[in-house]
């Protein structure tokens, strides 16, 4: 293509922010192809907002059809990604806008989660239509407030891959007579952990939405797991897998997490959960609690996370993301800006950024697991964990017999862990 021809054509730019998720390349391909068909020049911005935040316009790829025609079948992202916050401060935001203007960008497609969407809102507000901005909801955490409770793209693939890993851990646990504490991704939402547990039929899931208050004691999590181990032993089984959402670490009082104090925050102000050894901490606390009760069990911590993010997308996520990428471009070419594209009733539905913002924080609202729904109730009903009815006879004495505690002492120690559920439903009382 001649340089003069490129300069005469309007430019659509695509970037990726945040962690990888299956389906990113499919969005890139669909958006690029639709833009090319509409006569636009398409460029890929390398590593999200990283270089733009410095005013650097040199990390840009000119995308052609042969570059992207089959990438929808692959994991990862051909453009790379970063967690750079374009709205970190006024200078950074001005650098980003100036760089986009220097590149002649008329339309911007941002692929990302809540943080990327927040950055995009700031660019849209400042450019006031001069640059059309749209975001595509990407996160395996499934924590963006999409209409009709639609999943974020990448979640279905991550759940499927994660469930296979959990199934393998369950077989290993059965074969070796041990317990696994599988820590999985989900900073604000326990959706992935719960879905992996439910799909694989793991022993139990522990998610932050189950606990009352903004902060809770680590001992509540420990007793929930220890109670499940005791209840399973009472049925003659010495093995199991607990799937635990990493977001538990953000809800526990940080004084209980020595590593948290040394953990640096990312550009959006989040602590690096990966730097907090939640699995090791829980393993040691659970083992110590069991030993005090006279129970010897091998407990192994296993992190499940990075294996899920760049997996080859399922057909569901490929189809889903191709529609989203197409819809993002059609929205921009129709004069739209300042929205996230989602699917509702099979149709591409733009959601204005303003509707996504939490009026109290000014940040993108986060979707968490609704523990009052039948979906959660079904998952919970198949878990093995202490419930209020377990503290009635004869169940109480059977459970206490697995420990060195009397029935009364067992009830006093573990009753609170059976009452952490905060929703309403026929299976959960107290």
Q: Catalytic residue positions? A: 141
In terms of Cα–Cα distance, which of 11, 30, 96 is closest to 317? 30
Task: Please state, as a whole number, how many other Cβ atoms lie within 10 Å of the Cβ of residue 3.
Answer: 7
Cis peptide before 288 (omega within 30 of 0): no
Structure tokens at 107: 């339309």
The residues with which 206 forms a beta bridge, in sequence order, are 244
DSSP secondary structure string, 393-410?
Answer: TTHHHHHHTTSSS-HHHH
- Report the alpha-carbon distance of residue 321 to residue 315 in Å, rounded: 10
Phi, psi of 230 (to 5 degrees): -65, -45
Strand ranges (DSSP E) for 113-194?
132-137, 178-184
Cα–Cα distances in angstroms (integers) from residue 205 to residues 182, 194, 221, 240, 403, in the given order: 9, 6, 11, 11, 23
Instruction: Give helix 155-176 / helix 191-200 axis angle, nearest 10°.
Output: 50
Q: Give the three-state DSSP class for 178.
A: strand
Angle at 146 between CA 143 and CA 150, to 5 degrees: 90
């Amino acid at each position: 293509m001649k340089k003069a021809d490129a300069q005469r054509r309007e430019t659509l730019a695509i970037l990726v922010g945040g962690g990888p998720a299956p389906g990113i390349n499919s969005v890139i391909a669909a958006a690029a192809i639709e833009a090319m068909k509409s006569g636009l020049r398409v460029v890929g911005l390398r590593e999200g907002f990283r270089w733009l935040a410095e005013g650097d316009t040199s990390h840009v790829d000119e995308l052609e059809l042969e570059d992207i025609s089959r990438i929808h079948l692959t994991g990862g992202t051909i453009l790379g990604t970063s967690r750079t916050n374009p709205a970190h401060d006024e200078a950074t935001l001005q650098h980003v806008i100036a760089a986009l203007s220097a590149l002649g960008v008329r339309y911007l497609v941002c692929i990302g989660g809540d943080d990327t969407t927040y950055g995009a809102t700031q660019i849209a507000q400042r450019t006031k239509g001069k640059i059309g901005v749209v975001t595509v909801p990407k996160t395996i955490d499934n924590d963006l407030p999409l209409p009709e409770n639609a999943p974020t793209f990448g979640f279905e693939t991550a759940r499927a891959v994660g469930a296979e890993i959990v199934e393998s851990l369950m077989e290993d646990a059965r074969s070796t007579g041990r317990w696994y504490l599988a820590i999985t991704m989900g900073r604000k939402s326990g959706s992935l952990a719960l879905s992996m547990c439910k799909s694989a039929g793991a022993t139990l899931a522990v998610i932050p939405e189950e606990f009352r208050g903004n902060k809770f004691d680590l001992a509540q999590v420990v007793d929930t797991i220890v109670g499940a181990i005791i209840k399973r032993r009472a049925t003659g089984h010495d093995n199991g897998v607990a799937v635990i959402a990493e977001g538990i670490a953000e809800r526990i009082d940080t004084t209980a997490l020595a590593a948290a104090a040394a953990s640096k925050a990312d550009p959006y102000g989040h602590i690096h959960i990966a730097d907090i050894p939640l699995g090791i901490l829980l393993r040691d606390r659970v083992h110590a609690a069991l030993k005090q009760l006279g129970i010897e069990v091998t407990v192994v911590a296993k992190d499940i996370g990075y294996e899920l993010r760049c997996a080859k997308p399922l057909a569901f996520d490929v189809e889903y993301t191709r529609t989203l990428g197409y819809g993002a471009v059609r929205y921009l070419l129709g004069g739209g800006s300042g929205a996230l594209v989602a699917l509702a009733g099979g149709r591409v539905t733009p959601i204005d950024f303003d509707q996504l913002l939490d009026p109290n924080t000014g940040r993108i609202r986060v979707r968490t697991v609704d523990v009052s729904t039948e979906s959660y109730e079904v998952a919970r009903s198949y878990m093995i964990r202490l419930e209020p009815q377990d503290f009635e006879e004869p169940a109480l004495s059977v459970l206490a017999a697995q420990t060195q505690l009397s029935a009364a002492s067992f009830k006093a120690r573990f009753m609170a862990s059976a009452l952490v559920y905060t929703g309403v439903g026929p299976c959960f009382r107290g």
